[in-house]
Each structure stands twice: as C-alpha cells, then as structure tokens.
Amino acid sequence: MKNTIMKDTIILTVITLVSGFLLGLVNHITEEPIAHQQQLAKEEAYAAVFEEADSFEGVSVETDLQEYVNAQGYEAQTIDEIMEAKDASGETLGYVMTVTSSEGYGGDIQFAMGVQEDGTMNGISILSISETAGLGMKADTEEFKSQFAGVQTDAFEYTKDGATQDNQIDAISGATITTNAMTNGVNAGLAAFAYEKGGTQ
C-alpha cells in the first residue's frame, strides 16, 4: 500500500513538474511576439492621434502626476505612458497619453489620446476594450471618437440630450457606463497634460 502511494506521488510530482516546465516554455516563446505586437499597436495609435509628428519620445510618468490626476477626481484612471510628439526638427508639437480607465462595463478600457501644445485635442485611438457588442463597443467607432477631436477644453462632459457645446459628448445610447469611462479617461489625460505644461498652480 505504501509503495503504491509513493509511486502515485512520484508520478503526480513528475507530471506537475513537466506541465510547469512546458507552460513556462510556451510563455517564454509567446511573450516576445505578444510584446512586439502590443508595441506596434501603440505606435499605430500614436500616429493615428498625432499624424503631424515625425517621432515620439517617452516622458517619465512621475508619482506626483498620478496623484495630481487622482486629486482632480479621476482615481479610476491610470496614466500609463506619456510621449512627446516631435516634428522633424525635434520641436515638441504636443503629447500623446496612454490612459487606462477601470470604469468600463466590461472591464478596463485602454486608449491613446493626442493633445497639441495649445491644449487642442487631436483625437483618441482605442488599444483595448471589451464592452458589450452593439452598445459599449460603439465607443470604438469614428462617430463616437471624432467628438473628442479638434476641441480645446480643460474637461469634457457627456449628455443624453444632444451636445450643444464643443466640450459636450453625445452619450452612447444604452451605454452610459462606457461613455462615462471614456469621458473620465480623456479628462484624466487632459489633467496629465495640464500637469506636464505646469498648469497646476
């Protein structure tokens, strides 16, 4: 009996070790291609929200910046990355922020947004979203995203009654939660832009 238990234990241990090794190997093999694809997606998003830029240079996202964004009421939003958009001569044209909003109906929504030096929004490009098909997923349509482009404002707001001002966004019908997540995400990015420009005094 003891020999049987010992044998079974050894077999299970070997199976566990082999399975763990294979899982680790698969993860190692797929990790680099996945990271490469994610980087390509980001670069495409940068170009989409700042077509005039010749290059993008990373800016350190400081703890103080996130604390400032939180203090503006955007605790559910994270500034993942900030890039300076530069022209061919190296002059800064504005910024691209990668923002994650945790307020989505289906989970986190991550997107890139471009802001010119004078605070004018270039637009947004969604990197990751898992909202309800036919409802919240409409956030990834040009009809919705284009509302953020070409507007200079400190913050956007959404309305269910039809936008009458430049800084107002028409809410997605049946997807107020998604609309709120996107609007707060963009506003968090604008707060980060204000911080970078020194407009926090």
Q: Dihedral, CA atoms, 194, 148, 39, 197, nearest 10 degrees?
A: -10
* Radius of gyration (C-alpha) of the chain in whole angstroms: 22
pLDDT score of 201: 45
**Domains: count for the chain:** 1
Taking Cα atoms as reference points, which of 104, 175, 108, 117 lies closest to residue 144? 175
pLDDT in tens, 106-115: 999 999 999 9
Residue 26 lies in a domain: no
First to last CA, the chain: 77
Question: What is the spatial distance between Cα 159 and Cα 174, in angstroms, rounded to a whole number?
Answer: 13
Structural domain harbouring 109:
48-196
Residue 201 lies in a domain: no
Residue 122 lies in a domain: yes
Residue 27 lies in a domain: no
Question: What is the spatial distance between Cα 125 and Cα 47, in angstroms, rounded to a whole number?
Answer: 9
pLDDT score of 19: 74
Residue 14 lies in a domain: no
Contact present, 22 and 30 (Cβ < 8 Å): no
Residue 105 lies in a domain: yes
Confidence of residue 35 (pLDDT cuts 50, 70, 90): low
Residue 38 lies in a domain: no
- The mean pLDDT value for 107-135 works out to 96
pLDDT in tens, 44-72: 889 899 999 999 998 888 889 999 999 99
pLDDT in tens, 13-26: 878 877 777 777 66
Tell me: pLDDT of 11 over 90.
no
